[in-house]
Amino acid sequence: MSLHGTDFSEISAYPEEISPFCRLVQENPKAKMQCVYTDADAFERARHSGKIYIYRCRFGLCEAACPLYKNGVLSGYLMMGQVRDGLPGTDAAVISEALPYVSDRPELEKAVSSLPSVPREKMLALAKVIDRTAAKYDLDVIVTPQYTDLRMIAENTERIHVYAQHMDYLPAGRGLGSVLPEAVKAAGAVGVMLNHAEKKLTLSEIEKTIKRADEVGLATIVCADTVEELCACARLSPNLLVAEPTELIGTGSTAGDNYVKATIRAVKEINPDIMVLQGAGISNGKDVYDTIKLGAMATGSTSGIIRAQDPYAMVEEMLSNLRRAWDELH
């Protein structure tokens, strides 16, 4: 925790020493400058809104900046953070972002593991909120937890549909380190996501994996970027396609109206039975409402919920707007 003046300069901090991770990364001048820019932007956003601003630092850690006022006049800022969010894959993502600036990987991994983390139970709590809200608005909601959390989420929720983030098409037998379709099914998942921007597959691999999913009784979601990729994937007959411009993922910027309409039209011309979900950049209820009104049958968000000041309230906001948009159209 640190106290800063109105010019963003640090006045005091507790503890006085920054975390081992930040110290290690900021030994690189370029990385340190990126941290300065990110913090300055957070202070500016907090000043503009007049309330706490929660965000991720340049390397993926959770932080918060809060403006401090005395007699209605801005007198400084309080900064808190350097915390892992506890979600699966976070440590690997932080390490990946930091590696270009740190030469000693073992030391980097040690520094990341020493950072405080949000308890895993919070993920289950969020899943339960989504579950109750889905039932409240009579909606089908898909969640995609890490493999190790599939059973926990599936056994503690009733309305949401639990999908794995990926799986391999190999048959039972050899394949150390691969994700067996039967294992995904046994863990309680009812479907699987394929070809996400962070886990790209070839068309041949997608086709083989869809076939294996069909064999074991798992539904399939396939992610695609361009209209051309969506069309190619549509010909493989997944249950649902995610139209998601890679460059917009996690940015808070949504795809334009033309992209939404073009992708829906292209998929429906090939196979009208495939649901088309519009993703990337969905940050709030208005984004959900606007996307559904454009003709999407579904939409999705990860960072928009996880990075929200109140993730539980954001779930309510998004799902209520989905219900409203759907009812207005039907």
**Per-residue pLDDT at 51 exceeds 90:** no
The pair of structure tokens assigned to 157 is 């929720």
- Predicted local distance difference test score (pLDDT) of residue 207: 97
CA–CA dist 73, 228 (Å, integer): 54
Question: Choosing from 4, 196, 247, 316, which is the catalytic residue?
Answer: 196
Radius of gyration of the chain from Cα atoms? Answer: 22
| pLDDT tens string 105-128 | 999 999 998 887 766 567 678 788
What would the mean pLDDT of 51-58 be, rounded to a whole number?
79
Q: Is the dihedral of CA 176, 177, 178, 180 positive or negative?
A: positive
What would the mean pLDDT of 61-69 be, rounded to a whole number?
84
- The three-point CA angle 289-294-300 to 5° equals 55
- Predicted local distance difference test score (pLDDT) of residue 251: 52
- Predicted local distance difference test score (pLDDT) of residue 247: 65
Residue 292, classed as helix, strand or coil, is helix
Q: Give CA torsion, residues 114, 118, 121, 122, to 10 deg.
A: -160
Task: Output the DSSP codes for 197-219.
Answer: TTS---HHHHHHHHHHHHHHT-E
Closest C-alpha to 42, from 58, 32, 55: 55
- Predicted local distance difference test score (pLDDT) of residue 118: 63
Question: Choosing from 244, 247, 269, 317, which is the catalytic residue?
Answer: 244
Task: Output the DSSP codes for 48-62.
Answer: HHTS-EEEE-TTS-E
Task: Output the DSSP codes for 3-33.
Answer: EE-TTS-EEEESSSSPPHHHHHHTTSHHHHH
- Predicted local distance difference test score (pLDDT) of residue 79: 87
Contact 29, 37 (CB under 8 A): no
**Per-residue pLDDT at 87 exceeds 70:** no
Q: Where are the domains of the chain?
A: 2-113, 121-329
Question: Which comes out higher in pLDDT, residue 248 or 5?
Answer: 5
**Per-residue pLDDT at 252 exceeds 70:** no
Task: Output the DSSP codes for 34-45.
Answer: HHHHHHHHHHHH
**196 is an active site residue:** yes
**Per-residue pLDDT at 264 exceeds 60:** yes
The 10 Å Cβ neighbour count of residue 104 is 10
Domain 121-329: CATH superfamily is Aldolase class I (3.20.20.70)
Question: Which comes out higher in pLDDT, residue 62 or 6?
Answer: 6
State the pTM of this model: 0.65
**16 is an active site residue:** no
- Predicted local distance difference test score (pLDDT) of residue 221: 95
Give me the chain's average pLDDT, please.
87
Question: Which comes out higher in pLDDT, residue 231 or 307?
Answer: 231
CA–CA dist 233, 225 (Å, integer): 10
CA–CA dist 35, 32 (Å, integer): 5
What would the mean pLDDT of 76-86 be, rounded to a whole number?
81
CA–CA dist 113, 75 (Å, integer): 35
What would the mean pLDDT of 225-232 be, rounded to a whole number?
91
| pLDDT tens string 181-210 | 999 999 999 999 999 888 899 999 999 999
**Per-residue pLDDT at 279 exceeds 80:** no
- Predicted local distance difference test score (pLDDT) of residue 116: 79
Name the pLDDT band for 248 (thresholds 50, 70, 90). Answer: low
- Predicted local distance difference test score (pLDDT) of residue 201: 93
